[in-house]
Amino acid sequence: MAVLDIALMGDPILACEALPVEDPGDGAVVRLVADMVETMLAAGGVGLAAPQVRHRARLVIFQLPPGRSADGRGVPLTVLINPRIEPLTDDMDPAYEACLSVPGLTGVVPRWRRIGYRAWDLDGRLVEREAEGLHARVVQHECDHLSGLLYLSRMQDLSSLAMTAELHRQAALRAKENT
């Protein structure tokens, strides 16, 4: 396993449509997933798409620690190969998002509140789930990378774009004022 270099905004691979994975159990795909997991964990992310590590494969990984999902239980490490998303409601939730390919920035992005998704895992088994909250947001965010989209293209109001460090600084000042 290896920590891979993460493509940054401006790298042409991030604007390309990813290609379907033909054989989920192929050794090269299994190695790519292992490297992606190591890369995501090393970068402190909750999700990663193959184009972010310069592979044009329709492949994403993600995991949510306990307390970060709608039910509080978290979401275990999940591999989605050739994923498809379907909104289960017209309700949208605007919330801040960040991206390992756009370091230091965050912005408010509207996403479907509830989605269904289906994909294949590394063993060639069909994965079908419903997701809401952060789980749904992460799946949508990562799958956007497979269509050559960064979260910035989904923002409706660029005035919410901010430096992550400044938002943390402002939050710390507010917390200090409230004590």
Other Cβ atoms closer than 10 A to 57 = 22
| DSSP label at residue 19 | B
| 130 among known catalytic residues | no
CA 43 to chain centroid: 13
Which one of the listed residues 132, 142, 166, 177 is annotated catalytic?
Answer: 142
DSSP 50-109: GGGGT--BSEEEEEE-TTSSTTSS-EEEEEEEEEEEEES-S-EEEEEEEETTEEEEEEEE
Active site residues: 142
